């Protein structure tokens, strides 16, 4: 159950949200540059956690995020590194390909991140809240009662409704699952901005972020692609002897396995995602 929360108050201008930098400093620099181009200041930028994970520049990515002064929600990777836990806490099935590969990248991140950065991670809020157009939203990493639980578009709506009720909000913005989507359930929102550090298993090297923009008719919830120097990011993984499977994902846009995906999401493998805008009235 979430213990540490921070309220950002009422926000009447666009908010940029992204998840999972994953130690990909090229993608991190690209999303921060996009925010600057859009003239969105740090106080209206939120990262849904997992600043480090699969990629090869853990320390540089943490430095870029910390220097940017944006808001960051604690992800399972921050929880594990901040508390010096033995694994990433990603929720992978024991013995699965994801689980076995995580041993390698987690060990790299654990060694690359210094004590000061780990202490910063341990102090991150587990939940951010803000109000927009009179609606209260909560930003979390995975799910209301489990930081490492995967919630996808195909996840049953009653599970999402239960989390909305638990958090006592009109909308949830989450991360962790790596796939962007928006879903309105009985006029309440469940939104995942996707991640910037890895492609979305759609056969392209693009990654994803979102913008929430208040207006007179409701809140516009938009999901947009992000281009970054994925070839250099992949090269950095080779330099650091990181898992080849994930380095390949940066360029071909396909996950090395689909252990965590429900059947509906597995069927979408290799199908290029499109930018999406919905109006949450």
Helix (H) / strand (E) element for 117: namely helix 115-122
- Answer positive or negative: Cα dihedral of 243, 245, 249, 250: positive
Q: Is 217 exposed, middle or buried (0-12, 13-18, 19+ CB in 10 A)?
A: exposed
Residue 230: the pLDDT is 98
The CATH code of the domain that includes 273 is 3.60.21.10
Give pTM, 2 decimals.
0.96
- Strand runs labelled E in the chain: 5-10, 15-18, 45-47, 71-72, 127-132, 135-139, 171-174, 181-185, 188-192, 207-215, 218-226, 276-280
Q: What is the DSSP string of 178-194?
A: S--EEEEETTEEEEE--
How far is it, in rounded angstroms, from Cα 221 to Cα 207?
17
- For residue 130, the enclosing domain spans 5-280
Number of domains present in the structure of the chain: 1
How far is it, in rounded angstroms, from Cα 119 to Cα 129?
23
In tens digits, what is the pLDDT along the chain, a chain of 281 residues?
Answer: 566 899 999 999 999 999 999 999 999 999 999 999 999 999 999 999 999 999 999 999 999 999 999 999 999 999 999 998 877 877 667 766 666 767 888 888 899 999 999 999 999 999 999 999 999 999 999 999 999 999 999 999 999 999 999 999 999 999 999 999 999 999 999 999 999 999 999 999 999 999 999 999 999 999 999 999 999 999 999 998 888 999 999 999 999 989 899 999 999 999 999 999 999 99
């Amino acid at each position: 159950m979430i213990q540490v929360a921070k309220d950002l108050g009422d926000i009447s201008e666009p908010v940029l949200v992204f998840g999972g930098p994953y130690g990909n400093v090229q993608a991190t620099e690209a999303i921060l540059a996009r925010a600057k181009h859009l003239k969105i200041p740090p106080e209206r930028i939120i990262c849904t956690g997992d600043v480090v994970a699969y990629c090869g520049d853990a320390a540089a990515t943490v430095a870029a995020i910390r220097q940017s002064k944006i808001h960051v929600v604690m992800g399972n990777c921050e929880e594990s590194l901040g508390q010096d836990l033995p694994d990433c806490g990603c929720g992978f099935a024991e013995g699965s390909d994801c689980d076995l590969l995580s041993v390698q990248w987690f060990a790299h991140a654990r060694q690359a991140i210094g004590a000061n950065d780990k202490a910063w991670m341990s102090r991150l809020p587990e939940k951010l809240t803000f109000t927009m157009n009179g609606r209260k939203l909560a930003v979390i990493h995975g799910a209301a009662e489990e930081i490492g639980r995967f919630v996808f578009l195909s996840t049953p709506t009653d599970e999402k409704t239960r989390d909305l009720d638990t958090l006592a909000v009109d909308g949830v913005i989450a991360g962790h699952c790596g796939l962007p989507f928006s879903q309105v359930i009985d006029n309440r929102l469940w939104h995942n901005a996707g991640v910037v550090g890895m492609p979305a298993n759609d056969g392209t090297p693009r990654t994803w972020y979102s913008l929430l923009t208040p207006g007179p008719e409701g809140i516009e919830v938009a999901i947009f692609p992000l281009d970054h120097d994925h070839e250099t990011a992949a090269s950095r993984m080779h330099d650091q002897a990181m898992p080849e499977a994930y380095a390949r994902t940066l360029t071909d846009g396909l996950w090395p396995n689909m252990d965590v995906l429900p059947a509906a999401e597995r069927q979408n493998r290799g199908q290029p995602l499109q930018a999406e805008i919905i109006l949450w009235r």
